[in-house]
Amino acid sequence: MAIKVTTDSYHIASVRCHQMKYGDGSVVIEDDSEVWLSVSGSHPTCHQSKSNARRFRADEVSGIKGRIAQWDGMPWYYRIKPGTLRIFKVTRKETIEETIEEIGLN
């Protein structure tokens, strides 16, 4: 039996947004919606799904607050509320267990 354990740590960040509407008045994003900071290509953007959040290295965390203005408005309907930045440390631990058993062919 072999057991393999891997651990990975990274940071993700979220912000709250102002309500935004399309030209016809329908709401594209509700007030106080939480969105996750991400990157599309080399451009900063936001996503409603945490699974799309950018994984920041530990040495990048201190720069997130200073760079938050780069995310504002990408796409246009994510208008970030000041002072709502939240940063989370994520630790992911995976355990893989392998068992090999000989089976009889009788």
Q: Is 105 a member of any domain?
A: no
Q: Is 51 a member of any domain?
A: yes
Q: Which of 14-18, 31-35, 63-67, 93-97 has the lowest mean pLDDT?
A: 63-67
Q: Is 104 a member of any domain?
A: no
- Cβ-defined contacts of 47-55 (< 8 Å, 24+): 50/12, 50/14, 53/12, 53/13, 53/14, 54/12, 54/13, 55/10, 55/11, 55/12, 55/90
Please check the confidence at residue 72 and state whether its pLDDT lies above 70.
Answer: no
Q: Is 76 a member of any domain?
A: yes
pTM of the model: 0.78
Q: Is 103 a member of any domain?
A: no
Q: Domain span at residue 8? A: 2-98
Please check the confidence at residue 73 and state whether its pLDDT lies above 70.
Answer: no
Number of domains forming the structure of the chain: 1
Q: Is 26 a member of any domain?
A: yes
